């Protein structure tokens, strides 16, 4: 994936090297919406103080319980210098976020709407979010309460080791997927899903989560289509990287790896085939209209 020569986003807050709750910004180039695998929701909720009822997708979208992330870190935050590799990863994430901005702003404008750019928080280990305490174990997620994507970049190493999904475009797909949740939030999908899930059975709530996740996969494909049309970012093998990542994090594959069998009613992100299908649909069409996972079969 070609990315080094493109602008950086002004909307990245880099908390790495600042301890648990520090903050600093990556300089932008403009001048001045989980993927984390199978998460046991009850354990994550217990560890972070987040109400399990507000977790959508197991790891990806924390809708927030109104506590605004009140967990406190004991002691002063430690300071450390980022390694050259860490700095490069941060630059990469900033470029991808900038490209999502440059794709979604005109798409919304064409519909007479204004795209509110999301923030991105890069952190290591643990940090504070408006939806509760963010931990690396939760994986990348989007918090609608502060409209920010939270990302511990060590997750990309886990993609290589655990999910066997290496590659920079696979990593870009993860970021674009989370921004896809922000798009869903802006067009009103997430609030509607949250309301419906409160009144649904567990199986019904899971099914709604799957549709949310597959829509975000499709929207990531829409981003990839337009980014490549405008900047020719794709190199040989990039599409295969993203499709491999989408397949590797399907609920059926992850459950079979963890327990030897899959339980479809417990899926929260969709099967490998579904995730690949919807990413490809967005990539082929480049149209949000082709990403409606809430009508018909998925």
Q: How far apart are CA 292 and CA 63, in angstroms?
A: 21
Output the pLDDT for position 23: 46
Residue 250 has pLDDT above 90, yes or no: no
- The answer to whether residue 203 scores a pLDDT higher than 70 is yes
Do residues 220 and 180 make contact, with C-beta atoms less than 8 angstroms apart?
A: yes
pLDDT at position 276 over 70: yes
Compute the distance between CA of residue 127 and CA of residue 152 in angstroms, rounded to an integer.
10
239 near 284, Cβ under 8 Å?
no
> Any residues with CB less than 8 A from the CB of 193 and at least 6 apart, and which?
56, 208, 209, 211, 212
pLDDT at 50: 38
Mean of all residue pLDDT scores within the chain = 81
From 133-147, 194-208, 257-271, the region with the lowest mean pLDDT: 257-271
- Kindly state the percentage of the chain with pLDDT values over 70: 78
The pLDDT score that the predictor gives to residue 19 is 59
Give the residue extent of every domain in the chain.
Answer: 12-291
Query: In the structure, what pLDDT confidence band is assigned to residue 269 with cuts at 50, 70 and 90?
Result: confident
Average the pLDDT over 231-250 and give the result.
85
Alpha helices by DSSP H, listed for 232-297, are 238-248, 251-259, 272-285
Q: Which pLDDT band holds residue 37 (cuts at 50, 70, 90)?
A: very low
């Amino acid at each position: 994936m070609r990315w080094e020569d493109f602008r950086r986003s002004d909307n990245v807050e880099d908390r790495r090297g600042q301890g648990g709750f520090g903050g600093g910004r990556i300089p932008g180039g403009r001048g001045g919406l989980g993927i984390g695998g199978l998460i046991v929701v009850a354990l994550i909720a217990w560890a972070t103080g987040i109400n399990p009822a507000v977790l959508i997708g197991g790891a990806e979208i924390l809708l927030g319980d109104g506590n605004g992330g009140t967990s406190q870190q004991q002691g002063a935050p430690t300071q450390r210098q980022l390694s050259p590799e860490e700095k490069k990863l941060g630059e990469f994430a900033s470029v991808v976020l900038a490209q999502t901005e440059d794709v979604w702003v005109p798409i919304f404008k064409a519909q007479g709407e204004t795209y509110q750019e999301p923030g991105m928080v890069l952190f290591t280990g643990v940090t504070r979010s408006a939806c509760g305490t963010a931990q690396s174990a939760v994986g990348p997620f989007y918090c609608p309460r502060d409209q920010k994507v939270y990302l511990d970049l060590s997750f990309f190493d886990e993609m290589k080791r655990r999910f066997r999904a290496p590659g920079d475009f696979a990593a870009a797909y993860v970021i674009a997927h989370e921004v896809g949740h922000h798009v869903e939030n802006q067009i009103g999908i997430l609030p509607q899903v949250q309301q419906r899930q409160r009144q649904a059975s567990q199986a019904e709530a899971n099914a709604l989560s799957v549709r949310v996740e597959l829509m975000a996969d499709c929207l990531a494909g829409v981003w990839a289509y337009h980014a490549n049309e405008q900047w020719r970012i794709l190199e040989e093998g990039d599409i295969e990287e993203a499709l491999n990542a989408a397949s590797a994090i399907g609920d059926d594959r992850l459950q079979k790896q963890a327990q030897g069998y899959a339980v479809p009613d417990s899926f929260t992100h969709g099967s490998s085939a579904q995730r690949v299908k919807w990413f490809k649909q967005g990539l082929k069409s480049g149209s949000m209209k082709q990403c409606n996972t809430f009508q018909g079969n998925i």
